[in-house]
Amino acid sequence: LGAVFVCANVVTMLRIGHLELPVPVIQGALSGFSDLPMRRVARAFGCVYTMNEVILDELVVLPGKIQQQILHVPEDDHPIAGQLLGSQPDMFAAAAVRMVEAGYDVIDLNFGCPVKKTVGRCRGGYLLSEPRTALEIVSRVRDALPPHVPLTLKMRRGIDDSERAVHAFHEIFDGALARGVAAICVHARTVQQKYVGPARRAFFPSVVERLRSSGKPTQLLASGDVFEVSDAVELLGMGVHGVWVGRGAIGSPWVFRDIAHKLHTGHDHALPTFTEQRRAVWMHHRECVALYGVELGGRIFRSAAIRYADAHPRADEVRTRLFGCKTHQDLHDTLRLYWDDGHAEDHFGPVLPRQSYVRLVAAGAC
């Protein structure tokens, strides 16, 4: 695959180790969302690389139901990275090996989770304050994995805004490059910041420069507030190799297709039609029920489903209806009422452009 350039300096493919992805955009890990149903819907709309919801290393190693679930990788769910959380280098390494044996194509280490319980147990974002332990984890996992399996890293721009945090970030970043990680994703918020306030995009040019001057082939991915096609284009224009889509993909799987279209043709893709939206909602529900069973699947579906309402001209009404769907028949009726082929547009008007709602979603307003 050759790199194609449509916008100045914007690369339209991504290489993670031996994997050549035709679009430099991935579905990032999202606990509570990026399960198999969400991943399958994303792939149906052009997503080329996905990740599991982060999993605690010991749950991968300990026999049990969770282990069985996480170690089941269906044939159509590739390429996929398995993301791990933990605090002990040995446990990380053991879990990484099990995940690769089960079929994960890439192992990703989570050094960014800001959840209080996680940080309190010296995991996730906490590791950004402990460069030695973080790099010991990178070394042990890299050594334990077969050489052809790429190892990647997810970090935030620091644990907080202190000078010390900046040094720790650089130490871990440089150390990971030296240890041969295939890619590093940086979420441009601090751990302390959690999700409050905008991601600091201005942080990326210096990281791009740092990587460039290292001469290492590691790829840099950017994360933070990627809600619209223009967000991805802006970040790629700063010289990062790829973009990690987080919340912007919830209930909006067409974001992958839209970004790819822009990068490959220079043009905007048409808005998702009512028919396409209905297809995505239906598929998501079907996958949830198939994986978790009717009751649990229905509940898990509802938390993701309410985001599908965003693009509908009657978003509030549709959200309430979707949230209230308890049975297959309820969903069927709701889809017929609000997304009926041919009639929906006459009835409700055109679907809403992303710009009209994504910033509210970003701010947590709906």
Ligand X SMILES: Cc1cc2nc3c(=O)[nH]c(=O)nc-3n(C[C@H](O)[C@H](O)[C@H](O)COP(=O)(O)O)c2cc1C
> What is the binding site for ligand X (CB under 6 A)?
28-32, 53-54, 83, 110, 112, 154, 187, 195, 199, 223-226, 244, 246-248
| CB of 249 vs ligand X, minimal distance in Å | 8
Structure tokens at 326: 């308890």
SS3 call for 51: strand
Residue 21 or 255 having the CB closest to ligand X:
255
Residue 100 or 304 having the CB closest to ligand X:
304
| CB of 54 vs ligand X, minimal distance in Å | 3
Which DSSP letter does residue 351 get?
A: P
Residue 17 or 28 having the CB closest to ligand X:
28
String of DSSP letters for 247-308: GGGTT-THHHHHHHHHHHHSSPPPPPPHHHHHHHHHHHHHHHHHHH-HHHHHHHHHHHHGGG
Neighbour tally for 147: CB within 10 Å = 9
User: Which position among 7, 47, 113, 325 bears the catalytic label?
Assistant: 113
Chain residue whose CB lies nearest ligand X: 246
| CB of 246 vs ligand X, minimal distance in Å | 3
> In the annotation, is 113 catalytic?
yes
Per-residue three-class SS string for 143-169: HHCCCCCCEEEEEEEECCCCHHHHHHH
Residue 32 or 205 having the CB closest to ligand X:
32
Residue 154 or 285 having the CB closest to ligand X:
154
Cα separation of 346 and 342, whole Å? 8
Residue 63 CB partners (closer than 8 Å, separation 6+): none
Residue 28 or 344 having the CB closest to ligand X:
28
Strand partners, 38: none
| CB of 31 vs ligand X, minimal distance in Å | 4
Q: Is 136 exposed, middle or buried (0-12, 13-18, 19+ CB in 10 A)?
A: middle
| CB of 347 vs ligand X, minimal distance in Å | 32
Handedness of CA 354, 203, 27, 130 (dihedral sign): negative
Centroid of chain to Cα 50: 7
| CB of 275 vs ligand X, minimal distance in Å | 27
- Is 30 within 8 Å of 53 (Cβ atoms)? yes
Handedness of CA 53, 57, 59, 62 (dihedral sign): positive
Which amino acid is present at 327?
T
Catalytic residues: 113
